[in-house]
Amino acid sequence: MAMAPPRTRQFLLIDGDDTLWENNVYFEHAIEAFIDFLGHSSMPRGQVRAALDEVERMNIRVHGYGSASFTKNLQQTYERLAERDLRPDDIEHVLQLGQRIASQPVELMPDVAETITYLAARHDLMLLTKGHPEEQRLKIERSGLESRFTATAVVHEKAVDTYRAIVDERKLDPTRTWMIGNSPRSDINPALEAGLNAVFIPHEHTWRLEKEEVVPADGRLLILHAFGELRSHF
């Protein structure tokens, strides 16, 4: 495929989890199994989930993201809510619910491989994901996509300063730079606030703590239904 002329090339930052490959659905399955195992006599499922959300929200700064942090949060929530003695076997079962997430295969979203190949011939791509560095690096390697990107980065958090630092370090033109992802809180709103453009591709299993209203962006925001639609715009 012929390279696009320089004047039309843009810099595309692309999220990994739940944009390129499935991720949060495995956490959702673990949470449902956790609630079943807890079997609380009076708290409905939604209330148990809210308690776990609160533990996760409090621990993000301490534990960060990823399956290992999630496992610790499950254990802490179980210890808070369990109506029976805390037996080692039960704690081990709860830990296994979280630990098995890391062994799940990397399942690319529909049309991702073909679309990334198409985009890489026309633009400069950078894979930008957050979470536990070793866990995220393994996902990137197992995805088979790394060679299509000019750069990859695993960051602790995606905030306005994260995007501004990338623009400064790479001497990018913000008006020709796009962040593509599924998370309003991490991918879309901070990128827009940093002066970049953004492509929002909602995912039905986006983590609850990543959801918020997408801010208006005066024509700098594109909303698509599927990753493959990027080929019609870039």
Going by C-alpha positions, the residue among 87, 172, 165, 162 that lies closest to residue 125 is 172
3-class DSSP state of 196: coil
pLDDT band (50, 70, 90) for residue 96: very high
Where are the domains positioned within the chain? 6-21+106-232, 24-103
Do domains 6-21+106-232 and 24-103 share one topology? The answer is no
What pTM was estimated for this model as a whole?
Answer: 0.88
Contacts of 90 by beta carbon, 8 Å cutoff, 6+ apart = 37, 78, 82, 84
pLDDT in tens, 131-180: 889 999 999 999 999 999 999 999 988 999 999 999 999 999 999 999 99
Q: In the prediction, which pLDDT does 7 show?
A: 56
Going by C-alpha positions, the residue among 202, 199, 192, 189 that lies closest to residue 233 is 199
Fold of domain 24-103:
DNA polymerase; domain 1 (1.10.150)
Does CATH number 3.40.50.1000 belong to domain 6-21+106-232? yes
pLDDT in tens, 28-75: 999 999 999 999 999 999 999 999 999 998 988 777 788 989 999 999
pLDDT in tens, 20-36: 999 999 999 999 999 99
3-class DSSP state of 53: helix
Contacts of 177 by beta carbon, 8 Å cutoff, 6+ apart = 10, 11, 12, 13, 167, 196, 197
Give DSSP secondary structure letters for 145-187: -GGG-SEEEEES---HHHHHHHHHHHT--GGGEEEEES-IIII
Our measurement of the distance from residue 167's CA atom to the centroid of its chain's CA atoms, rounded to an integer in Å, reads: 21
Q: In the prediction, which pLDDT does 137 show?
A: 94
